[in-house]
Structure 1
Amino acid sequence: MFSASDTFATLCATAFMLAGCAGIPVAEKPRENVTPLVKQNLPKQFFNAEGAALPMSSSWWQGFEDPDLSRLIEIALKENRQLDVAQANIDIARANVARQRLEASYETQGSLGANVGRSAAPDRDIAATLSSGLAASWEFDAFGRIASAIEASELGAEAAEQARRDVAVIVSSQTALAYADLRGAQRRLSVAQENADTQAQSLELLQALLENGRATALDINRAEAQYRTTLADIPRFQAIIDSSVSRLAVLTGGSALEPGAEILNLRQQARPIPELTSSFDIGSPESLLRRRPDVRFAEIEIGRLLALSDVERARLFPVVSFNANILSLFGNGNRLDQLSSFGFGFGPAIIWEGPDLRRVRADIVIADAETERAYQQYEQTVLQVFSDVEISLSNLRNEARRQQDLSQAVEAARGALELAQVRFEEGFDDFLDVLDAQRTLLAAEDRLAENTLQTTRLTIAAYQELGGV
């Protein structure tokens, strides 16, 4: 006769024998660090004049030194509904981790049933029986299936955290862009209104000069056409202001629309377009890869798929578990105080998907192919990140170079208008030169305001590409 220890030893030996017959391929070890330190072909903007990497502030919006902007972004990062959804996804992922860890613990199951009946044979009495049972089992994770599944779920939770960081980057950038659009529209509206007032005064002057014979109907028609054209731009800027306020309300989770909310006063309290006042620090290439949530997500996805591949490979091995059962049956022939009413059993068990493991091997091939796809996607993400950053910084640098020339153009246009008005009043030139000077000044001021806005927008976009939050 075999003892319990002999039976267990035989079962374990059988398990390892079956595993050996399965012909298990040796899985390749994952790379210790899947982040390649790509340093070739990097844009020179990553470094300062001495070639050292520049640090980057996580609260990049403070570099604009605009209290309204900082306040709105802080509210958005706290109240935005998309961030709430992303946080809920993190909570779900963490709950899945806790659930997966329970697989390493024992499992119990209880049952209780009652039955009243009579056999179909003649002269049988009606009998009532009561049965109950309690079972427990624990899987011995000899081949790492449970550990790999737990690791995959933990990496899934980390990926959810990176997804929330990505949402935070987008929310902060979109809030800053909406605020910049608001201030930009207010500035361009102010330029249009100031020019419209000047043109209205010129039109009134022409009306008086017409009565004195110094102006013609043609001058008045030209002046009115320019005045009406300038007025036509005002509703367009007001529409941008309205849409910007609405975008800010959504981005801040609706808190901006509450009574007493400061954002409602932004429409009336015009301020300059926010401009970056501090140095543009972007950090090193390595820190960029650490900051970008999409890069971190792609890296984590590789680790998660590697863990799932280990789960599939563990299916080539038998599952060894230990089971224990307690049973009871009470009826006419036995009672609660009789040992014969109880039964029990315990011992190991082996479950194996073989010897036909073709389906298991096919699943392993699928898992390996998905991991390889994740590697390729990661490399593509890294290349795209450096390309996007380089393009973004190049656009910002070239747009900023236009600002000095546009500022000088405004000064020149303003001087030309003053000179044209003097020459017209002294009778040297007709009013057409004044109209042309007004039109030139309006175009120059509007172009400068648009350049300031575009520079700010490109700065915000660059920080978004740099993963700053």
Structure 2
Amino acid sequence: MNSAPHIIFSKFYAASLTGLALTLSACATPSVPPKPEFTSQIVTQNTFANAVQEGEQSVPDWWSSFDDPILESLVDTALRNNRNIDVAAANLRAADALVRAARLGKSYSTSTSVGADLGRSTGANNDVELNLSGGIAGSWEYDAFDRIESQIKAAEYNRESVLQAQRDIAVLVAAQTAQAYVDLRGAQQRLAVAQQNAELQAEALSLIQELVDNGRSSDLDLHRSETLYRTTLASLPLFQATIQVSIAQLAALTGVAANEASSALPELTSVGQIPSLLSEVATGSPQDLINRRPDIRQAEAEISRRLALSDVERARLFPRIVFNTDISALFNGANRLDQLSSIGFGLGPTISWEGPDLRAVRADIDISDAQTEAAISQYEQTLLTALSDVEMALARYGREMERREDLEKASHAAKNALELARLRFDEGYDDFLDVLDAQRTLLDAEDDRVQNEVLVTTYAISAYRALGGMWTEEELSDERAETVNSLTN
């Protein structure tokens, strides 16, 4: 049998249905409201006035720039074991499934039913009958006005938004891990400084006690010396608490129970140096910032998703065309398996339209457009916040770097002053108050120097966090894979 006439008829049939739908749309004359345009007025000029090495791209694994193997190991472990990243990865898999489900809208759908019924009608001489029934149905929507295509785009942009949220969590986890490690080392260094000064002050207190006992000094000097010593001792528990808190934070970030932190992370219990950058912070350009920051890219994806959803709402102004087919069968005492009369079928299109009263549809379009405009405003605010974050972090980093040399010189001068004060006291030129003042000055100078080291590294971490961290999904996946390999081999 020649099938060419049937093919020609099918094409003519589909074209006729499309023409009918367009005719219905033209009769209703629904005007399509214009979509809001993404016209950001923010000028992303190079405003990184405090950048140290502007123009050089920041590396994704910025924590390796501190040349601290323990820090690198902790961040790698956090990226591998942190549960928040696992949650984000699960959300990404769910978004992938939503994309696949949306793409199925362009394919056909089927349904099958099978049933059996055993019974007898009321009345005399009626026999028991077994009825077997079954059916299969299929449908396919002709996407004449890109409703399904817009739904697919919305799902894809939602997937991109979820991906950027995962990247943002990874960057945040890396920054939090590095910051907790810096806080730990800073507290250990400040504790060591306070303990060393407490030892010096204890020796001074013992000396002044002997002088008081011999009548060569007054109780006033004794009380002043004890006040300074006790004040220094009172600061030690604060540093010890910071050490314990930092270790607990690192345990949580790296997926270790807090009560097992000492055994799982033994390298943290010994005093270590505060990590510092081997080179200056490389910021790149503002365009690099826009490309790197996950929250900016997430805001961009949200605008695109909202625009796609607006297209979905606008497609409701026009009819939907769905082609349906249905095959059913019934087998009982009257219909046998070998009889064509037991088989039934149906084939035909369905055209549905929400008109002619489209007021509800237009209201939904207005809602969608307003949400799109909100997403655009949110993007602009996110961009402004990102530029501000980088500016503030780099400004603080630069100013703390400027303070470093003076604080180091101040600490060195305070040590010399203490030696001279002791010498002059021993020679009888000055009283013990000058020695106490020199000890207090030395403690403050050394503590300020340690705090400066902590702040310099803290602001460097903040700068890298503000600059956006890892580039792509592949880099994040590769980083986690490399971490697994390095820690398992």
Residues 35, 299 of structure 1: 8 Å contact kept: no
- Give the partner amino acid of 1:129: N
Asked whether the equivalents of residues 256 and 262 of structure 1 are also in contact (C-alpha less than 8 Å), the reply is no
Give 1:45's match in structure 2, choosing from 39, 43, 50. Answer: 50
2:29 to 18, 23, 31: 23
Contact preservation (8 Å) 1:73, 1:172? yes
| Equivalent in 86, 93, 96 of residue 94 of structure 1 | 96
Give, as a single letter, the amino acid of the residue that structure 2 aligns with 1:304.
R
Partner amino acid, structure 1, of 2:410: A
Q: What is the one-letter code of the residue matched to 2:102? A: Q
What SS does the corresponding residue of 1:155 show, helix, strand or coil? helix
Are the counterparts in 1 of residues 283 and 467 from structure 2 also a CA contact under 8 Å? yes
In the alignment, the residues of structure 1 paired with residue 241 and residue 252 of structure 2 have an alpha-carbon distance, to the nearest angstrom, of 17
Tell me, in whole angstroms, the C-alpha distance in 1 between the residues paired with 2:117 and 2:257: 62
1:225 aligned onto 2:227: yes
Q: Within the alignment, does 1:419 sit opposite 2:424 as a pair?
A: no
Alignment of 1:318-467 (within 5 A): 318-467=319-468
Which amino acid counterpart does residue 414 of structure 2 have in structure 1?
Answer: A
Written as runs of structure 1 = structure 2, the 5 A alignment for 1:7-18 is 10-18=16-24
2:36/2:372 contact within 8 Å kept: no
* 1:421-446 deviation digits (Å, cap 9, x = unpaired): 00111111121111111111111111
Q: In the aligned structure 1, how far is the partner of 2:380 from the partner of 2:434?
A: 60
How large is the Cα RMSD of the aligned pairs? 2.4
**Aligned residue number for residue 161 of structure 2:** 159
**Structure 2 partner of 1:295:** 296
Assess, with a 3 A threshold, how the Cα gap between structure 1 residues 218 and 286 changes in structure 2: closer, same or farther. same
Give the distance between the partners of 1:11 and 1:120, measured in 2 at CA. Answer: 48
Q: For residues 414 and 432 of structure 2, what CA distance do their matches in structure 1 show?
A: 16
Distance in 2, Cα, partners of 1:191 & 1:414: 13
Indicate the larger mover: 33-42 or 409-418.
33-42
* SS of 1:45 mapped into structure 2: coil
For 1:403-434, what per-residue CA distance to the aligned partner results, in whole angstroms no more than 9, with x for missing partners?
A: 22222211111111000100111111121111
Partner deviation per Cα, 1:229-248 (whole Å, 9 max, x = no partner): 11111111000000000000
CA drift at 1:55: 1.7
Rounded to whole Å, the distance in 1 between the matches of 2:262 and 2:243 is 19
**2:478 counterpart residue number:** none
C-alpha distance in structure 1 between counterparts of 2:361 and 2:52, whole Å: 51
Q: Which moved more, 1:379-388 or 1:179-188?
A: 379-388
Q: Give the Å deviation of 1:253.
A: 1.3
Q: For 1:301 and 1:316, how far apart are their aligned partners in 2? A: 24
2:21·2:351 contact (CA, 8 Å) conserved in 1? yes
Work out whether residues 116 and 128 of structure 1, in 8 Å CA contact, stay in contact via their aligned partners in 2.
Answer: yes
Once residues 336 and 111 of structure 2 are traced to their aligned partners in structure 1, the CA distance between those partners, rounded to angstroms, is 24
The amino acid of 1:451's aligned partner reads N
Deviation at residue 11 of structure 1 after TM alignment: 3.3
Gaps of 5+ in 1: none
Task: Report if the CA contact (8 A) 1:257-1:263 is conserved.
Answer: no
Q: Percent identity?
A: 52
Q: Which shifted more, 387-396 or 224-233?
A: 387-396
How far is 1:109 from its partner? 0.8
| 2:341 maps to amino acid | S
Q: How far off is 1:183 after superposition?
A: 0.5
Distance 1:457 1:6, change over 3 A: closer
Give 3-state SS (helix, strand or coil) of 1:325's partner.
strand
CA contact (8 A) 1:93 1:153 kept: yes
Distance 1:272 1:259, change over 3 A: closer
Are the equivalent residues in 2 in contact too, given 1:291–1:466 (CA < 8 A)?
yes
Amino acid at match of 1:298: A
For residues 311-345 of structure 1, what are the alpha-carbon distances to aligned partners after superposition, in whole Å with 9 as ceiling and x for unaligned? 11112222112221111111221211111111112
What is the deviation of 1:293?
A: 0.6
- Contact 1:34-1:299 at 8 Å conserved across structures: no
1:47–1:54 Cα contact (<8 Å) kept: no
Q: Secondary structure at the match of 2:265?
A: helix
1:107 matched residue in structure 2: 109
The 1:124/1:11 distance shift into structure 2, 3 A limit, reads farther
Whole-angstrom distance in 1 between the partners of 2:387 and 2:11: 62
In structure 1, what is the Cα distance between the partners aligned to 2:349 and 2:464? 59
Quote how far apart the aligned CAs of 1:5 are: 7.2
Q: Which amino acid aligns with 1:374?
A: A
Q: Which amino acid aligns with 2:370?
A: A
Partner AA of 1:21 in structure 2 = C
Q: 1:74 to 1:317 in 2, by over 3 A?
A: same
Distance in 2, matches of 1:260 and 1:81, equals 20
Task: Check the 8 A contact 1:87/1:164 in 2, yes or no.
Answer: yes
Please state how far the C-alpha of 1:7 moved relative to its aligned partner: 5.8
Q: What is the rounded CA distance, in whole Å, between the counterparts of 1:361 and 1:78 in structure 2?
A: 48
Q: CA separation of 1:186/1:339 partners in 2, compared to 1, >3 Å: closer, same or farther?
A: same
Partner residue of 1:194 out of 171, 193, 196: 196
C-alpha distance in 2, partners of 1:302/1:319? 26
SS of the aligned residue for 1:254 comes to: coil
Q: Which amino acid aligns with 2:394?
A: L
Amino acid at match of 2:105: E
* 8 Å contact from structure 1 (residues 327, 342) kept in 2: yes
| Deviation for aligned residue 1:8 | 5.1
Note the residue ranges of structure 2 that are not aligned, 5 or more in a row: 1-8, 471-489
- For residues 183 and 52 of structure 2, what CA distance do their matches in structure 1 show? 30
Moved more, 389-398 or 166-175: 389-398
Supply the distance in 2 between the matched residues of 1:5 and 1:409 (Cα, whole angstroms): 89
Q: How far is the alpha carbon of 1:399 from its aligned partner?
A: 2.3
Q: How many correspondences in the alignment? A: 462
Identify the range of structure 1 (282-291 vs 105-114) with the bigger mean alpha-carbon deviation.
105-114
